[in-house]
Chain A
Amino acid sequence: NAGVMQNPRHLVRRRGQEARLRCSPMKGHSHVYWYRQLPEEGLKFMVYLQKENIIDESGMPKERFSAEFPKEGPSILRIQQVVRGDSAAYFCASSRNGGRTEAFFGQGTRLTVV
């Protein structure tokens, strides 16, 4: 049973470009979380999705960031017009059920904005 798959592992974008980060959850998991981790800081919640629905986006910046989890295919975190401050590691996690259930993390995508 493959774990949570994230790609790409490393992504370099110039300021103003778009970044698309992909996450395929574990088999049988229909709940996906996105987190951001800055150097020397903890994991910060961004968004929680179920298939075709955004359940909680309270941690998502209001502009330039969006997320989706379509019926078919991976979850996508999209960052438009990237800025240097967007450079971070972005982690996706999935769980079988929403509440009171552990989530399993992918290896992350390291975004560098130059």
Chain B
Amino acid sequence: DTEVTQTPKHLVMGMTNKKSLKCEQHMGHRAMYWYKQKAKKPPELMFVYSYEKLSINESVPSRFSPECPNSSLLNLHLHALQPEDSALYLCASSLWTGESSPLHFGNGTRLTVT
């Protein structure tokens, strides 16, 4: 079982909907990440939070809005998405953002935008 829990597992939304993806970890990790993964591709980094502050935003469109309410929770708010945003969205956490600290991934939310 993964120690990073993501909900929902699957999400179908229209282009005018607003929805949120949720991620939770209780490993005491202080860094949390959002990745987007298209089929047969490696994950692409979207956002990094370090000690609950946004430290990296990889030029992600504003229709994706991250939020880190506390050290255990990470949300991704979605609004006015496009069909090409359909993908697997992965949350990950690590002890810190140092180079030797491996990431622990959740099982992802499979998002379909219609």
Q: Real complex partners, A and B?
A: no
Interface residues of A (CB under 8 A from B): none
